[in-house]
Structure 1
């Protein structure tokens, strides 16, 4: 199963921030904060690409729904034709084909809904990241102002300023809250598959009987 987009985004952002912290370990607090902001920019670029992919998936699902609906309608015509010719065996096979395309319609509707939800989540994530970036830039400006006002302070003091660490920590917490979206899908058992097959055969029989009854009723009216 492919890794969910939000888990990939979370991993990239977390790894990027950790890398930035390591690289800037001996740098000044200003460099550390600037690198964290650049990580947010990179994360936003990745999320935008994910959003474009999700939009493409949504559009493709809509197109496949229309195509499947068209094919299901075509098989509906074949069902009536074969019944009129007295070929119930072919009509039954045609019903199964129609049901396959109806199942595809439901499948692509689910894909569309999933992709639409992904687009919405990614949009919220972009808004969250944009807000986080603005806040970090404000914090950077305040930090630079503090540095300017405390020129006498040593580089060591500025590097170890607990306020810097707290700012980065808050950024990580924001990402965790935004992207901590995971779930699982349980697999179907053999018994469930057998029940589904039985239900499918039953539906084929019911549709065939209903069509035959409808055609018989029309035939009686025409007499």
Structure 2
């Protein structure tokens, strides 16, 4: 089963932040902040790819819905035809095929809704990341200005390093909140599926009986 989009997005962003923090031991000041911004850029590209995939899945689900609905209508016609010919065995088989395509319609509707939700959440995530990148770029510009104005004393360097650490921590917290907004996607209920299978046979019998009754009534009226 494919990993949910929001988990992939969270892993990408989290990995990016961790990578940026790992550089803290080897880099300082503007180099660390620039690396953090580059990690955000890479995260944005990954999420944008997920967004495009979600839109593609939504489009494909819509097309499959239409096709399945057409096939369900075709099998309905075959049910009526076989009943008219007195072949209840074939009519029952045709009803089962009709139900299969009706189930596919519901399945693809669910896929469409899921993909649409994913696309919407990913769109919001892209906006959040873009906004955070803008803030980080502003912080970098302010930091560079501060560094150019301050004397290169050990005390000012210590304060600057602490300022960078605080800014990266704020970025990490913002990304965590963004991932929470992305949320999760609920799967298909296992119990609902089992109940559906139990009801399937009963529904076939009910449909067959209803169509026979309707055709009998129609035959009576024609006489």
Structure 1 position 59 matched with structure 2 position 68:
no
Shift in Å at residue 20 of structure 1? 2.3
Could you report, residue by residue, the CA deviation over 1:16-47 in whole angstroms, capped at 9, with x for unpaired residues? 22222223423231111111011111100011
Task: Indicate conservation of the 8 Å contact 1:28/1:155, yes or no.
Answer: no
Paired with 1:66 and 1:48, the residues of 2 have a C-alpha distance of 28
Paired with 1:155 and 1:204, the residues of 2 have a C-alpha distance of 82
Task: Indicate conservation of the 8 Å contact 2:114/2:185, yes or no.
Answer: no
Aligned position for 2:203: 203
Once the two structures are overlaid, the 10-residue window that deviates more, 24-33 or 121-130, is 24-33
Task: Indicate conservation of the 8 Å contact 2:28/2:161, yes or no.
Answer: no
Once the two structures are overlaid, the 10-residue window that deviates more, 129-138 or 154-163, is 154-163
Task: Indicate conservation of the 8 Å contact 2:61/2:111, yes or no.
Answer: yes
- TM-score, length of structure 2 as denominator length: 0.92
Task: Indicate conservation of the 8 Å contact 2:34/2:140, yes or no.
Answer: yes
Task: Indicate conservation of the 8 Å contact 2:58/2:111, yes or no.
Answer: yes
Paired with 1:79 and 1:101, the residues of 2 have a C-alpha distance of 14
1:56/1:183 CA distance change after superposition, 3 Å: closer
Aligned position for 1:107: 107
Shift in Å at residue 5 of structure 1? 1.4
What RMSD over aligned residues (CA atoms) do the two structures have, in Å? 2.1
Paired with 2:199 and 2:171, the residues of 1 have a C-alpha distance of 52
| Structure 1: 5+ residue stretches without partners | none
Task: Indicate conservation of the 8 Å contact 1:28/1:159, yes or no.
Answer: no
Q: Which consecutive segments of 4 or more residues in structure 1 shift more than 6 A?
A: none
Alignment of 1:1-223 (within 5 A): 1-154=1-154, 157-158=157-158, 161-180=161-180, 181-182=183-184, 185=187, 188=190, 193=194, 195-223=195-223
1:192/1:184 CA distance change after superposition, 3 Å: closer
